[in-house]
Amino acid sequence: MTTKQFDGKTAFVTGAGSGIGRATALAFAREGANVMATGHTASTIQETVRLIEAEGGRAQAAVCDVSQEADVIAAIEKTIDAFGGLDFAFNNAGIEQPNIPLADLPVDVWDQQIAVNLRGVFLCMKYQIPHILKQGGGAIVNTSSGAGVKGFPASGGYAASKHGVIGLTKTAALDYASAKIRINAVCPGIIETPMMDRFSGGTPEGREAVIAQEPVGRMGKPEEIASTVIWLCSEGAAFAVGGAFVVDGGQTA
Ligand code: NAD
C-alpha cells in the first residue's frame, strides 16, 4: 500500500457541500486524511462523503451552521469521536452579499455577513485549537477573498468580513505559532462555484463581466484553491505562518 502525506491525520472542512469546500475535502481525502465534511445542508455534505468514499477515502458528515456556537462545538466533538483527534481545519463556509452601496445596505444583511463569514471562522478556530494542541500541532486555513485585501464597490459587509478573517488569522497565528499550529488564510479570486454562479447571475453576459476582472482571462477552478490549502497544511509550508495567500489569476495584482 502506498503511503500518503496525511495518512492518520484528520481534517475538518466547513462549507464542504459545494464549490471550494467540496474540492478541498476531496483533496484532503486523496492525501490520506480522514475528513469531517460540514455544512448547513445535510444532502450536499452527504454527497461529498459519498464522492470521497467512492474514491476509497474516509469521511463523515456533520450538519453545522458555523454562526451557531452549539453547532460548531457538536461538529468538532463528532470529529473527535469519529477519528480520535484533529490535525487540520479549513474554515471556508461563507455567503456572498448582494451588490448594495453602504448607506443602502440593510443592517440584517450586514449582520449575516459578519455572523457567517467572520464569527463563523472565530467560533471554528476557538473550538478547533484545543484539539489541535492535543495533537502537538497542525494547521488551519481560513477562507478570505480578494475582497479581504482590497475594497470592492457595493460590497461593504462582505469586504469587511473578509478583511476581518485576515486580521483574525494573523492574530491567531501569532497566538499559536510557538505551539506549532500554523494558521494562514487563502484569498481566492473569481472561482467557478455555485456562489459565483449566483453572483454573476450565471448568464453568458454575467460570466463575461466577472471574467473581465481576471488578467488570466478565465475563472479559477475550485481545485486550484484546494491545492493551495493542501500545500499550506503540508510540511512544505512549515515556514508559512500568518500569511494571506492570494490565489486569484492576477485579479488584485
Ligand atoms: P459555495 O456557495 O459553493 O460554498 C459555500 C458553502 O458554505 C456552501 O456549501 C454553503 O452551504 C456553506 N455555508 C453557507 N452558509 C453557511 C453556514 N452558516 N454554516 C455552514 N455552512 C454554510 O461557494 P464557494 O465559492 O465555494 O465559497 C467558499 C468560500 O470561498 C466562501 O467563504 C467564499 O466567500 C469564498 N470565496 C469564493 C470566491 C469565488 O469566486 N467563488 C472568491 C473569493 C472567496
pLDDT digits (tens, 9 = 90+) for 69-95: 999 999 999 999 999 999 999 999 999
Separation in Å, CA 6 to CA 90, 130, 133: 14, 20, 17
Residues 6+ apart with CB under 8 A from 174: 242
Residue type, 51: L
Task: Give the mean pLDDT of 87-104.
Answer: 98
Joined together, the cell numbers standing for residue 190 give 473569481
Residue 1 has pLDDT above 80, yes or no: no
Residues 6+ apart with CB under 8 A from 221: 23, 191, 192
Q: What percent of the chain has pLDDT over 70?
A: 100
pLDDT band at 61 (very low <50, low <70, confident <90, very high): very high
pLDDT tens, position by position, 151-196: 999 999 999 999 999 999 999 999 999 999 999 999 999 999 999 9
Determine the distance separating the centroid of ligand 1 and the alpha carbon of 211, expressed in angstroms: 19
CA–CA dist 43, 25 (Å, integer):
15
| 40-49 pLDDT per residue, tens | 999 999 999 9
CA distances 134 to 131, 138, 181, 204, Å, are 5, 10, 11, 50
The answer to whether 67 touches 44, Cβ cutoff 8 Å, is no
- What pLDDT sits at residue 42? 98
Among 193, 210, 214, residue to substitute to test ligand 1 (most atoms within 8 Å of Cβ):
193
Q: What amino acid positions are annotated as catalytic residues?
A: 158
Answer whether residue 12 shows pLDDT above 80.
yes
Give the distance (Å) from ligand 1 centre to CA of residue 24. 12
Domain 10-242, classified CATH 3.40.50.720, yes or no = yes
* Amino acid 198: pLDDT: 96
**Can you give the residue ranges of every domain in the chain?**
10-242
Which residue is it, cell 451552521?
A: 65
What is the residue with the minimal CA distance to atom 18 of ligand 1? Answer: 65
Residue nearest to atom 41 of ligand 1 (CA): 191
**What is the three-class DSSP state of 100?**
strand
Tell me what the mean pLDDT of segment 226-236 comes to: 99
Q: Count of alpha carbons within 13 Å of 40, Cβ hemisphere only?
A: 11
- What is the b/e burial string over 3-41, where b = at least 16 CB atoms within 10 angstroms of the residue's CB? eeebeebbbbbbbbbbbbbbbbbbbbbbbbbbbbbbbbe
Given the CA of residue 20, which atom of ligand 1 is nearest to it?
26
